[in-house]
A = this chain, B = another copy of it.
Amino acid sequence: MGDRIKVAFQGERGAFSEKAAHRLLGADIETLPRQTFEDIFEAVVAGDADCCVAPIENSLAGSIHRNYDLLLESQLTIAAETNLRIAHSLIAPPDVPFEQIRRVYSHPVALAQCTRLFKEHGFMEPAATHDTAGAVRLVMERGRNDEAAIASADAAKIYGARVLKDNVEDNSQNYTRFLLLAPPARIPAKPARRWKTSIVFRMPNKPGALFRALGAFALFEIDLARIESRPVEGRPWEYSFYLDLIGQQDEPDVAHSLKNLVQMADMVKVLGSYPTDW
């Protein structure tokens, strides 16, 4: 027990983040539920957890900027990533039939991703809770015969509830990318065929600045996997850039590119190098 890796995640047992933790580290880990994103970073800093799992972007809703900010402020680095398909199920206590459901609890964002369910079944009313898995727990505790929850099918298993309908989300192309975050070298890296390195950088505000920054990588034919600009708070016309590149930060070509970027940028922070499935 004492040797198992401890992983903090946001939400209650059965949350998508907990599923991502198991996908990243296997079944034999200890998962620690926490209320907020701040709390999962804090759990690692305080030594309660070895690492934490944080959602960073969703294919429909875009980047979760708050977690980028927390990662930037922290000493943690990215140790691994995984892409999880977000499939929502309608879940109720055993023996509660679909037609009888009047109220459906879930996290606000999950409710917003299942608008078709409520349109097609006007007798169901959405009700917000702090958490998808927590909604299943709540419905089981209340034990009413006209209430259900929207959460992952895993949450149904955990709380002894029953899945009434799978895939109630409006859009099946709903993926969330989760990062495993830990103090440097805390989580031993798995051997991998392909690596990704994530960085954040800020360039002086001049035309062609981003072009030159990308030139640092193009010079060495480094492949890019993602780029996003983000305005710097309170400074119009200044931007940070999130960039993911293919390769490990210690490989000579990547290291050279990063050195060149440091030379021309106002700020560069390497968030981590980690194996990627892609």
Q: Mark A225-240, 1 if CB is under 8 A from B, else 0.
A: 0111101010011010
Given A115-B130, A211-B211: A64 in contact with B62 (beta carbons within 8 A): yes
Q: State whether the Cβ of A184 lies closer than 8 Å to any Cβ in chain B.
A: no
| Interface-side segment among A71-79, A88-96, A152-160, A214-222 | A214-222
* Oligomeric state, in copies: 2
Residues in chain B near residue A223, CB distance under 8 A: 207
Given A127-B127, A130-B115: A218 in contact with B208 (beta carbons within 8 A): yes
Q: State whether the Cβ of A100 lies closer than 8 Å to any Cβ in chain B.
A: no
Within 8 A of B (CB), among A192-225: 207-208, 210-212, 214-215, 217-218, 221-224
B227 touches A228 (CB 8 A): yes
Residues in chain B near residue A64, CB distance under 8 A: 61-62
Q: Which residues of A line the B interface, CB within 8 A?
A: 36, 57-66, 107-112, 115, 118, 126-130, 173, 207-208, 210-212, 214-215, 217-218, 221-224, 226-229, 231, 233, 236-237, 239, 241, 278
Q: What are 14 A-B contacts with C-beta separation under 8 Å?
A: A58-B62, A61-B62, A62-B63, A107-B108, A109-B112, A111-B128, A126-B129, A173-B233, A207-B218, A207-B224, A208-B218, A211-B214, A212-B218, A227-B229
